[in-house]
Chains A and B, each alone.
Chain A
């Protein structure tokens, strides 16, 4: 649990990132260009938002499997409100984020008030939220035709090429970095992950803190759904399928202990870009997309084996 071990894992990850840059720089077409860098960022913002929020959840020793489904539900809520119900886009967007927040609140309530393990709670809500999205759309409805102003959130650029959603990711990064690493709350979160009972005796309001991280996770899923819809120009019930697993992979790769007690928000961001560059680089090097999945799985296992010494016994 020493700082040296932590920075060692982050250093290893940065090294990996550098290896990716060199290898794909040599073998990928147009890999080392600013345009491609922005492309990678644009494609990974939704996942990044979820991974940042999940870092706080996993810091407490919890997990949230429902974030991908919640992206789907919020996308459908937004699409329906903006296109069918005819609400103004900002209001529809606010209500979609509210829907995500309520989804997170339900998770948090079940975890804290009923003391159900988060894995099971969010496994249930994983089905429930995706199911609600499917039920609401009959599994087929696909909302499109959003106004250009909204689509620019996902497709537009700022100041000569920066993707519009990049500031959003940076903002979320700063927020979660400050929350986890620079606040009393964050110290409490990691204390809960390390030993919930001890945290309680030390005066950490365990229930309130846990509710906070699940609510944040839900709200962030709502925001991510908006970025996703704006990027693809359509809102469907299958939005965000599999995002939860990719996001968890980024978090664990980044050095946050899956048992809780130790979290690294910067690590999560590096983990995210290791995954994103792997996918992008393999595509530009004309390698099959599936190879990225296989390598992601192996990287995750490797990261786990290497970080074994940080496991609380």
Chain B
């Protein structure tokens, strides 16, 4: 039976089962392939997870508000190119990073205006903007990369070690901020309220349309930041970066237990979902499996996660 003190009707079971699954993978790795825990490999893994976590926090907001954004892969590419071009102008890197984030926020604002302003379904709006931004970028750049970035760009001129630390610390800060905000801020609670029942949220004095607009802007800004954190690791900017990012991020958020029907889910769950899916591929390789099974496995895990959730929901309904 449901205890009134527990904020979510499912308690913490998704987090616990994810934690158990993650622990199981790590145990097997520790036993069969201790090389996985070499400092260099962990640092690699942490650096590659950082941008995904930042984007996933944005997607958490969007899905909690009962929306979806499949344009973030294209937004990611646009922001990366903006970052590269501004950095090439010789402007300081923080300014370039700021403009990339601003570009992301503006693209997000377009999605938000179409969804909240016109009342259009977010899946189709972001499908349209996904195609438009991607093809528009290809048109503008003719598929070429932004090359020859200044020395001070890669790793922010801090060297690989310092740069990595900064990237991981930024992602951790974003995670902490969103996690705290969702629980403790009025804005965070409005996201849950809007996603649970927009009409009820309106009746208690919230403004669901503003909330929806806001989550898309936040999603765009965080996508921009994710592009910055990714691009800083390289010396060139690929114009076709971020293809398929949206589905990877949505998968992590859903596996992390955020309900696609809005209003339910926790930041901790999303963190575990991101980590779980990020560890899965490398673990497969370290355990001697074939890397190209990665995608099939990810798909199977998404289906398993939603199926188990649904089965439990039905079990609860019969109690």
A residues adjacent to B (C-beta < 8 A): 63, 110, 114-117, 119-121, 123-132, 134-135, 138-139, 245, 248-249, 252, 258-259, 288, 290-294, 296-298, 300-301, 304-305, 308, 311
Contact = CB atoms under 8 A, between A and B. Distances in A.
B139 interface: yes
A51 to B, nearest CB: 14
B293 interface: yes
B131 interface: yes
A100 B297 CA distance: 19
B298 A110 contact: no
Contacts of A117: 260-261
Given A115-B314, A300-B131, 7 more contacts: A114-B306, A124-B300, A128-B295, A131-B295, A245-B131, A294-B135, A297-B133
Given A293-B131, A294-B136, A298-B128, A131 B297 contact: yes
A123 B302 contact: yes
A243 to B, nearest CB: 13
A77 to B, nearest CB: 14
A135 B131 CA distance: 28
Interface residues of B, number: 46
A246 to B, nearest CB: 9
Contacts of B125: 301, 304
A127 B298 contact: yes
Contacts of B134: 293
A258 B298 contact: no
B124 A304 contact: yes
Interface string B290-301: 101111111110
Given A110-B307, A124-B306, A128-B303, A305 B118 contact: yes
State the 7 A-B residue pairs at the shortest beta-carbon distance, nearest first.
A293-B135, A128-B299, A131-B296, A297-B132, A127-B299, A131-B295, A124-B302
B63 to A, nearest CB: 10
8 contacts: A124-B302, A134-B295, A245-B130, A249-B128, A258-B123, A293-B134, A293-B135, A300-B128
Interface in B274-299: 290, 292-299
B176 interface: no
B62 interface: no
Contacts of B292: 131, 134-135, 138-139
A147 B139 CA distance: 39
